[in-house]
A = this chain, B = another copy of it.
């Protein structure tokens, strides 16, 4: 299995520096008072396409040979990776083909189309996605860019923590949401090299806790029918990701839906920034008391800010729905 090293993150950074924003690090005096720690948020919700996914996508696209790039790129994704790959492909002037479940949020469909990708809709199952993607690739010859189980994607995601350590204070603890494990594994590679003393904790919704179970068990145990408002974290760990995570992550904690929503609301109200539910999972873990952060400097990677403003969990009549 081909696993990136820190030098691949450095190379990724030089590939993407002209395309991606160097996002700011924000904090909130009130949230520090509430939690008892000193919390720094790296705002990838301000990243191009509204999530950190643009880092990995742009690195993967820019790493393709001229010949391969000419055939375009393809992926299946319910959202943020799709938009990121679409814009990355546009930056290189090549075609992007995206397989999406019909049930994906409207705002994410619009974003992907808006960045110029060709969308292929399928029914919301992993089998349908994979079958449709295989068809698209056999017709177009496009290179598949997996959303997280991909060498260059992992190296690209690692650049967020690299920037955070370059621009911010030393961190005692780093908290990262985990779905497929792209961000968590990239972060682990960066931290192990740059700040090995920092404790790295993956934060996962209870309703999609395959990383938690896999980490305990020592082997990948995929989620079956995951259910959470954190729609970016429904996917199960990739193989490359797990290989890194099991070696280089200190702990994985799970978080309830109520805590995710409470944390999301706290960030919206106190910090006045829009984060998607997936990004609220680390603060949710703090609010649940799962992480002891008294007098600790804590870095959180805010993964994205793409939400459907017509379906927010703050309404009194909100009920969560199963999203495939």
List residues of chain A with CB under 8 Å of any chain B CB: 24, 26, 43, 45-46, 50, 107, 265, 268-269, 271-275, 305, 309-310, 312, 314-316
Contacts and interface: CB of A to CB of B under 8 A. Distances in A.
A140 to B, nearest CB: 28
A34 to B, nearest CB: 12
Contacts of A314: 309-310, 312
A271 B312 CA distance: 18
A310 B316 contact: yes
Contact of A272 (B46, B310, B316): B46
Contact of A315 (B50, B107, B268, B315): B315
B310 A315 contact: yes
Contacts of A274: 268, 272-274
B269 A309 contact: yes
A268 B309 contact: yes
How many copies altogether?
2
Contact of A50 (B107, B272, B316): B272
A46 B271 CA distance: 7
Given A24-B24, A315-B315, A272 B309 contact: no
A70 to B, nearest CB: 27
Contacts of A316: 310
A309 B305 CA distance: 16
Contacts of A315: 310, 315
Contact of A312 (B45, B107, B309): B309
Nearest to A21: B29
A273 B50 CA distance: 12
B312 A272 contact: no
A178 B45 CA distance: 30
A101 B256 CA distance: 38
A272 B239 CA distance: 33
B272 A272 contact: no
Contacts of A268: 274, 309
A112 to B, nearest CB: 15
A45 B272 contact: yes
Contacts of A265: 309
A228 to B, nearest CB: 20
Nearest to A275: B272
Contacts of A45: 272
Contacts of A310: 314-316
A43 B24 CA distance: 14
Nearest to A276: B272
A184 to B, nearest CB: 22
Given A107-B269, A272-B274, A312-B312, 14 more contacts: A26-B46, A45-B272, A50-B272, A265-B309, A268-B274, A268-B309, A272-B275, A272-B305, A273-B273, A273-B274, A274-B274, A309-B312, A309-B314, A310-B314
